[in-house]
Amino acid sequence: MQTKRVIATLLLLGLALTASSAEESWLNRPEHKVRFEFSTELGFQSIVYHTIQFGQSGTQFDYVADGGQDVYFPFKRISADVSFGPRHKLVLLYQPIDVRTEVRFFENVAVYDVNFDGATPPDGLPMELRYGFDYYRVSYLYDFWKDPRNELAAGISLQMRDAVIVFAQKDGLKIVSNEDIGPVPIFKFRWKSYLGPTWWLGSEIDGFYASGRFITGSANDFVGAILDASLRAGFSPREALDVFLNVRYLGGGAVGTAEDQAVGGVDGYTRNWLHTVSLSLGVTVR
C-alpha cells in the first residue's frame, strides 16, 4: 500500500510540474556546462532463483523453495547524473536490496546440512531470514553522441556492496550472521534513442565477471559476477521530465572462501547465486 501511494505521489508531482512550468529545465540553466538530473524507480521484484551454501561440507539452501522468497518484493532505486559538457557524465546510484522472510524449517529442508552453527534445528523451528545486499555505485560514462537527447555511452563503475545474511531462530537463542563490505569494479553501458518527439527506448547494462586470486585480490581462489541489465520505454511530456516503464534483470553471486575463515562458525566457504527480475515505473527530472 505504501509503494502505491509513493507511485501516485510521483505521478501527481510530475503532472503538476509539467502543467505549472514553461521552462526548458527545472534544475539547470542553458548557460551552465554542468547539468544535473535525478531519477527514481518504484515497482516490484521477483526472485527467480536464489541459493546459498555455507561450508564445503554443506549443501545448498534454496531461498525460493524453502526460504519464503517465492513472492513479490518491493523494488526501489535512486540515481543522479552530473554531466560535464556534452560527453562526460558522472552517475551516482543507490540500490537497496533487503529481503526478509519468516519460515519453518523441517527435516527435508537443506539447511540441516548447511551447518546451522554446528547444530541441527528442531523439527518445525520458526526462523527469521534476512538477505540484504544494498549497494552504492559511482560511474563514469563517455557519450559517443553529442545530441543532448539521445545517448550512446560506455564507461566504468565502482560499486560498494553492503551484504548481510542472517539465519535466526525466532526465540533468539541461535543466530548465524554473515556480513561483508567490499568494492566491486564494473563495466557500464547506456543507450537512449528517441523514436519521435516524445517517445523513446533505452537500455542500461552494468556487469563484471572475475575469477582467480590475482583478478579478485583475494588470498584464496574466488569467483564473482554481477549483471544489472534493463530495458525501458519512456515518454517525455517536456524536455525536463521523463516517465518510463523499466524491466530489469539483476543477479550474480560469488564462490570462494573468506580470508577470515569465519562464516557461520564453519570453514569460511560460501557459494551464493541470485537471479531476479523487476518491473518498475521511473521518473527522471532535469
pLDDT in tens, 255-277: 887 665 544 445 677 889 999 99
Q: What is the reported pLDDT for 271?
A: 87
Please give the residue that has the higher pLDDT: either 179 or 15.
179
Please give the residue that has the higher pLDDT: either 194 or 219.
194
Four-CA torsion 274, 279, 285, 286, nearest 10 degrees: 60
**Domain 2-285, CATH among 2.130.10.10, 2.40.50.100, 2.40.128.100, 3.20.20.70:** 2.40.128.100
Contact 186, 205 (CB under 8 A): no
Contact 219, 239 (CB under 8 A): no
Q: What is the reported pLDDT for 106?
A: 63
